[in-house]
Amino acid sequence: MTALDRRWYDMEEGATADAGADAEAAFVGDAKKFQEVEAELAKKQVKRLTARQAHMNEEQTKWEENQLITSGVVTRTSVATEFDDESVNRVQLIVHDLKPPFLDGRIVFTTQQQMVSVVRDPSSDLAVVARKGSALLREVRIETDKTKMRKKFWELAGSKIGDLMGVERKVDPDDPNAGAGKDNAIGDDGTVNYKADAQFASHLKKKSDAVSVFARSKSYREQREYLPIFTVRQQLLQIIRDHQIVVVVGQTGSGKTTQLTQYLMEDGIGGEGAMIGCTQPRRVAAMSVAKRVSEEVGVELGQEVGYSIRFEDVTSDKTRIKYMTDGVLLRESLTSPDLDKYGAIVMDEAHERSLHTDVLFGILRKVAGQRSDIKLIITSATMDAEKFSLFFGNAPVFEIPGRTFKVWRVYNCVFSVV
């Protein structure tokens, strides 16, 4: 050990240890054992490295050598050896085994937990185009309306030029809607009523002539008192006063459609100023019944008694009894869910069970639960009365007695003489 120290300190500055026999003497320990340990560690290191790691180490070594050569510290020497064979070099390809999101079994492809909030921007391109398009359509509609004022667009009558030139409109005497002050299609201010051809108010306002002997010989009051519902008027009104929902059962011809609404109006049920609505399954029934009731009350159709169907509303501010189709009442429930303007509603012919009536049943039951001042009367056939009563919370069922007519038997005998 002392000799080694002396040898170390006797070396000149910058010198290295001698190679050869003295190299092993300079190593303290067993050199053979040290070489074996280094070889074993090298084998373990090779086994431990994967192809990817070995490739990365090789790339790192090449990068370091390239940096040294570029810096000028070392120089490249082209010494050919027997191991420099390019064909022996193996190329390692690193493949990334990636799967698309729709094949890896995931269902949710986003981490967003809430819905995207809708932002209304009136200054956006789509909103501006929509407004301009609406204005354009309005202008086209106005021009089209001006043209429709005339039966033939090339006629001067009815146009601005014709009015300036003094050309008068031709009035057809056979047209019931034509005439001074009675032109429903074209108003005095030049507005056009396109629904005039599909309306029936002008025809229904004419008083109908009695056909049967009974109708010609009896007044409206006597005809009303002859109906079976008149005999139970007080009992019917009393049960309506005591209960909010009542199911009325009556046969055809008992008078429940025409008389029930009049009884409610005369007795003041539903509140003063409130409207009494009565639904019908068909438009013809709503119009004809409204006309009959207006004649019995003694008012003009559209005043105290009116009707409302699709494309036609014959009512006013004075209307107290309003006949309408199921669809009209269903439409009104969209704008007024509580049906505030009605004090009583009569669902007539409910046993026919259309889609509108079934939806109205649910709406009216909800309205009756929210409003204690409204009266709901359901008229039905005998076989369906219990169903409606159970649906509206065991509502009372009131039956209108029917009437029988005398039946005459006539025998027609034929005799043959031989």
Checking DSSP bridges between strand 312-314 and strand 305-309, what pairing results, if any? Answer: antiparallel
* Within a domain: 94: no
Relative orientation angle of helices 326-335 and 355-370, to the nearest 10 degrees: 40
The answer to whether residue 95 is domain-embedded is no
Does one domain contain both 273 and 159? no
Question: Pick from 128, 163, 198: which residue ends a domain?
Answer: 198
Sequence-ordered list of residues with C-beta below 8 angstroms from that of 189, at least 6 positions apart, any chain: none
pLDDT score at 277: 94
Q: Does 367 map to a domain?
A: yes
One domain for residues 387 and 241: yes
Same domain, 320 and 286: yes
pLDDT at 183: 44
pLDDT of res. 177: 46
pLDDT tens column, 244-281:
999 999 888 888 889 999 999 998 887 777 899 999 99
**Domain for residue 45, yes or no?**
no
301 with 236, same domain: the answer is yes
Phi, psi of 33, deg, nearest 5? -65, -35
What per-residue confidence (pLDDT) applies to 128? 82
Question: Are 307 and 375 contacting, i.e. CB atoms less than 8 angstroms apart?
Answer: no
Q: Which domain range does residue 224 map to?
A: 220-399
Q: What integer pLDDT is reported at residue 26 of this predicted model?
A: 52
For tokens 């699709």, the residue is 310
3-state helix, strand, coil in the chain (%, to 5): 45, 10, 45
The answer as to whether 204 is a domain residue is: no
Question: CB pairs under 8 A, 24+ apart, for 221-230?
Answer: 223/296, 224/255, 224/259, 224/262, 224/296, 227/253, 227/254, 227/255, 227/259, 228/253, 228/254, 228/255, 228/400, 228/401, 228/402, 228/403, 229/254, 229/255, 229/256, 229/259, 229/260, 229/400, 230/255, 230/259
- Mean of the per-residue pLDDT values for the chain? 77
Residue numbers in the chain where pLDDT is lower than 50: 19, 21, 176-184
381 within domain boundaries: yes
In this predicted model, what pLDDT tens digit does every residue of 359-383 receive, in sequence order?
999 999 999 999 989 999 998 876 6
pTM as predicted: 0.53
Q: Is residue 125 part of a domain?
A: no
Residues 283 and 154 in one domain: no
Boundary-marking domain end, from 149, 167, 198: 198
234 and 265 part of one domain = yes
- Does residue 121 lie in a domain region? no
What is the Cα–Cα distance from 356 to 325, expressed in whole angstroms? 9
Residues 182 and 296 in one domain: no
Q: How many domains is the chain partitioned into structurally?
A: 2
Q: Answer yes or no: do 194 and 237 share one domain.
A: no
For residues 372 and 247, membership in a common domain is answered with yes
Tell whether 190 and 225 lie within a shared domain. Answer: no
**Residues 277, 155: one domain?**
no
- CATH code for the domain of 316: 3.40.50.300
250/184 same-domain check: no
